[in-house]
Amino acid sequence: MNIFVTGGAGFIGSNFVFHMLDTYPDYRIVCLDKLTYAGNLSTLAPVMNNPNFRFVKIDICDREAIYKLFEEEKPDIVVNFAAESHVDRSIENPEIFLQTNILGTQVLMDACRKYGIQRYHQVSTDEVYGDLPLDRPDLFFTEETPIHTSSPYSSSKAGADLLVMAYHRTYGLPVTISRCSNNYGPYHFPEKLIPLMIANALADKPLPVYGEGLNVRDWLYVEDHCRAIDLIIHKGRVGEVYNVGGHNEMKNIDIVKLICKELGKPESLITHVEDRKGHDMRYAIDPTKIHNELGWLPETKFADGIKKTIKWYLDNKEWWETIISGEYQNYYEKMYGNRGTI
């Protein structure tokens, strides 16, 4: 089996590459990644010499290069992680989100049609469902929840999902889609909530919580997500959407306080800053379908996963210190330098 993993130098994609190489010693895994600011080749260093692994620096929007690679490698399955993934960046500059997330998806699926494929899998997000109110803890996102997006990022992901379903219906492309809640774990880029707070707390820097910090996210340990995608590409029904999440709802403020506690840092580092524009209140997944059809259940409880994650960031300082000492520094200054405290 030859599997293309796009975006494999990013957070979830790299964890998926490791999972697949460990689980299937007879599979060939080809990672396609443009190496944007979020892609990091050093993450893949442990597998670079694995004879079952190949890395190709490529933009999924580059039709000619993508077709050439399909012709050469003839993949059986494509798993598309490649995306611009950060909501705050999409609010600053939506265009690259539309290009990569929608048009890049189109190029990949056109290649799948042209060269033939057993499965095209789109890694999507629960953000396509919009948000749930805080005062209705009985409500969850199911696969039937209408698409209702809030940010340019989620709109671009929803646009891609609709296109994937259109390619299935119109051209009969064998597709599946997974919509996952917030992931956390090793190799999470330090612009996102959990790694940002760990890095700032370790440096005794302010911990910028948007608004009151009452927004709720449904956290999933990245390895659990990788197992879910593994199951879907092998056993999931073509043309279906699977929600992936594990009833691990947490308020942002509680996560930040927990990180302070685990690192022995004072909560006085917490600074409430101007809220994100259009900030979604609550995400919460109903995973009944993937549980009933594929037997998937998350294995890592948040209390354990966050400890493992903090330990990983402590043991792998070089990985994230290199990132935050570079170009990311300018981004941080731009995004947080002028953000008023409240």
Q: Does residue 222 bind ligand TDX (CB under 6 A)?
A: no
**What's the closest the beta carbon of residue 333 comes to ligand NAD, in angstroms?**
20
Q: Is 63 helix (H, G, I), strand (E, B) or coil?
A: helix
**What's the closest the beta carbon of residue 197 comes to ligand TDX, in angstroms?**
7
Residue 63 or 308 having the CB closest to ligand TDX: 308
Number of CB atoms found within 10 A of residue 260's CB: 18
Residues 53-72 that bind ligand NAD (CB under 6 A): 59-61
Q: Does residue 210 bind ligand TDX (CB under 6 A)?
A: yes
Residue 38 or 111 having the CB closest to ligand TDX: 38
Both tokens of 228, joined, read: 């879910």
Strand partners, 270: 207
Residues 110-169 that bind ligand TDX (CB under 6 A): 125, 127
Going by the DSSP 8-state scheme, the letter that residue 340 receives in this structure is -
> Which partner in ligand NAD, ligand TDX, none is near 87 (CB below 5 to 8 A by kind)?
ligand TDX
Residues 1-60 that bind ligand TDX (CB under 6 A): none
Q: Does residue 208 bind ligand TDX (CB under 6 A)?
A: yes
**What's the closest the beta carbon of residue 166 comes to ligand NAD, in angstroms?**
18
Helical spans, DSSP H, in 79-179 = 87-92, 95-98, 105-115, 152-171
**Do 320 and 195 meet the contact criterion of CB atoms below 8 Å apart?**
yes
Q: Which helix (H) or strand (E) holds 306?
A: helix 302-315
Q: Does residue 182 bind ligand TDX (CB under 6 A)?
A: yes
What torsion do the CA atoms of 167, 296, 130, 303 make, to the nearest 10 degrees? Answer: -150
Closest chain position to ligand TDX (CB): 125
Residue 85 or 176 having the CB closest to ligand TDX: 85
> Which partner in ligand NAD, ligand TDX, none is near 53 (CB below 5 to 8 A by kind)?
none
> Which partner in ligand NAD, ligand TDX, none is near 35 (CB below 5 to 8 A by kind)?
ligand NAD
Long-range contacts (CB closer than 8 Å, 24 or more residues apart) made by 58-62: 58/32, 58/33, 58/34, 59/34, 59/104, 60/6, 60/32, 60/34, 60/100, 60/104, 60/105, 60/107, 60/108, 61/99, 61/100, 61/103, 61/104, 61/107, 62/107
Q: Is 56 helix (H, G, I), strand (E, B) or coil?
A: strand
Residues 273-302 that bind ligand TDX (CB under 6 A): 276
Contacts with ligand NAD by CB under 6 A lie at 6-7, 9-13, 33-36, 38-39, 59-61, 81-85, 100, 104, 123, 125, 157, 180, 182-183, 189
